[in-house]
Amino acid sequence: MVKIKFVMLFAFFVITAFTFAQTGIVQRTDSSGIYKLTDVVITATKTPTSTLKLANSISTIDSSEIANKNSLNAFDALKNEYGLSFSQQGTKGSVSNVYIRGANSSHTLVLIDGVEVNLPSDPSNFYNFFSLPTENISSIEVLRGPQSTLYGSNALAGVINIITVQGTGKPVFNFSAEGGSYNTYKGTLSSIGKLDNFNYSVALSRIKSDGYSAAAEKYNTDEFNSFEKDSYQLDNINSILGYEFSENFKTDFVIRYNKSNSGLDQSLGSPEFWDDPTYIFDQEEFFIRGQGKLSLLDNKWNQKFGLTYFSNVREYSFDTSAASAYSSWSNYDGKKYKADWQNDFQFFKNNLISAGVEFEIEEMESEYYLISSLNPPDFASIIPKTNVNTTGAYLQDQFKLGESFFGTVGFRLDYNNQFGSAFTYRIAPAYMFWQTGTKLKATLGTGFKAPSLFYLYDPLYGNKELNPEKSLGWDAGVEQFFWSNGLSIGATYFFNKFDDMFGFDPITFKTININKAETNGVEIFTKAVVTEGFDVKANYTYTKAIDKSENTVDFDKKLVRRPEHKAGVFVSYSFTESTNANIEFIYVGEREEPDFINYPSRIIMTDYFLIFKIAGQN
């Protein structure tokens, strides 16, 4: 009943907005109104492009929205975006996953200033969004649908691109501190500016909390002594240093380091062991990227070339010797090395061709030890240092026919020294009816995900004969712009099919290409500038995500942790240039979770509402 009521209210809101805006339609000559309602994004085509001219389903979270929300990390900032669902394995300091259009969290490629940060040492290569604070973030771009044509592996369902602000203007320094319940505090020191040809942006931050126990409240009794708090701490340094040698040649150096420590709870065993005070997760991450931008032939040939080093080390340990006979220690060390070169050619006004090559090496080593005083005896799983390399080349054409038809066509070929080649493509046409402010759009594309080093070389689960996972996705939608009233409304239908997904042989336990899945649904979204400083965003997403893995116990069941219904509203009002108040509302429908104790049974997680209200300074 709650879901029905909310959907009806949202539908009423959309109908009212349409009715209110009918008198406000203007023609394309109102260019200031156009850019008031649209953004210039990078992620969709790897070139700056107005969303008005894109068929891609892409949305942005700008720096003012992030600041107004006062989000703890990027995970919190993303929760209200349409087409996205999320899960967290415990308290704030635990693993935080984002799912695009019902796909696995590992099917989303995550970029920070052009650096791929999906974990090379994790079996699924996902990214943990807890470890990314929001300091100095200029914008977050969320691109939906298969995107391997431009980005290669891991972009089966979409791309999330985090872009750090670059220094401009006179140097300024900022310091902020805040605190709250559970001895939680956050401190930030930052500086940004430009000195002649040198620009910089630097931020240091620490988030720390005693936390609270994520174990079930009914087990927090003296009998089990379950009052252990799941504390966490995150230290972060991020910076961009840039230098302009001339109008035609610029360089940037991106440096980011973070270190985190979290207390976790167990998920298996008897209830008295769930609230484990010895279960600790430590992570240390570092990357550096140097890149140059060169413009030739009166800006008709623009080049971008870069070198990247990325490192992530994770350590898990627990010692429950006081309560049981087991203890464990594990270390996962992953690295990436990448070189890339992109060329953009615009010899004709209505045609932009992009061609690029990339070379990447992934490397990892790991150790896992389970120590037991019982039978069976101790267990160890060790993966010595190993690596794979991938070479990719892509070609993309952005074109315009007349003043109304915009299109993007591209293809890519990757060669991996382990599994061979992978070919992907993408087609994205859009047509704009300027007189009515209506845009029709559609996309069709494919994606792939290379087997992780863990799945290839783990002594128990590894299989060197694995092929990549594959996806085919398409979407179609309409967007309506009412420029004079500062209102836009859109709706998109999407469908994704995933094949050759990684699963396990029930006899040998080896990883094999056996699983399949399908997702489809509808996204409805609206954005309004009611008056100057008064902004409203609202959305609703219906997602049907089904497991299509034949001859398994989960065949034709829902994929876990994916709600069918999700909706959100964000309202922000600026009283002055320095004072803002806002309210954020998120609704998440029922989800199914695996019951690890009684597998293959499932647990139904009830729907819930989140309401955030913040008043303060920008």
Please report the pLDDT score of residue 324 as a whole number.
58
Does residue 109 come out as left (phi exceeding 0), alpha (psi in the -120 to 50 range) or beta? beta
3-class SS of residue 14: helix
Please report the pLDDT score of residue 600 as a whole number.
78
* DSSP secondary structure letters along 344-374: EEEEETTEEEEEEEEEEEEEEEEEEEEEESS
pTM, whole model, 2 decimals?
0.91
DSSP annotation of 148: H
Please report the pLDDT score of residue 319 as a whole number.
75
**Whole-Å CA distances, 468 to 364, 448, 473, 606:** 19, 6, 16, 35
Please report the pLDDT score of residue 113 as a whole number.
94
d(CA 563, CA 604): 11
Half-sphere exposure of 337 (CA within 13 A, CB side): 6
Strands 301-319 and 326-348: antiparallel
Q: By the 8 A CB rule, do 496 and 469 touch?
A: no
DSSP annotation of 60: E
Angle, alpha carbons 405-409-411 (nearest 5°): 175
Q: By the 8 A CB rule, do 329 and 317 touch?
A: yes
Which helix (H) or strand (E) covers residue 202, if one does?
strand 198-209
Q: By the 8 A CB rule, do 424 and 448 touch?
A: yes
d(CA 266, CA 272): 10
For 158, residues 6+ apart whose C-beta sits below 8 A from its C-beta are 83, 100, 101, 103, 107, 108, 109, 142, 143, 144, 145, 146, 147
Amino acid residing at 616? G
Give the tokens for residue 66.
Answer: 């992030």
Which parts of the chain have pLDDT scores under 50? 1-2, 5, 8-9, 11-36, 218-226, 618
481-512 per-position pLDDT tens digit: 886 557 899 999 999 999 999 998 888 889 99
Amino acid residing at 273? F
Residue labelled with tokens 């399949």: 516
Half-sphere exposure of 70 (CA within 13 A, CB side): 19
Does residue 593 come out as left (phi exceeding 0), alpha (psi in the -120 to 50 range) or beta? beta
Q: By the 8 A CB rule, do 365 and 381 touch?
A: no
Q: By the 8 A CB rule, do 570 and 534 touch?
A: no
User: Which residues are paired to 344 by β-bridges?
Assistant: 302, 354
Closest-CA residue to 83 (of 602, 493, 402): 493
CATH number of the CATH domain containing 209: 2.40.170.20
Give the tokens for residue 384.
Answer: 């010595």
Q: By the 8 A CB rule, do 288 and 253 touch?
A: yes
**Whole-Å CA distances, 128 to 97, 133, 165, 427:** 6, 11, 22, 31
303-337 per-position pLDDT tens digit: 999 999 999 999 988 776 555 567 888 999 999 99
Farthest-apart Cα atoms in the chain, separation: 78
The total number of structural domains that make up the chain: 1
Full domain range(s) for residue 352: 2-617
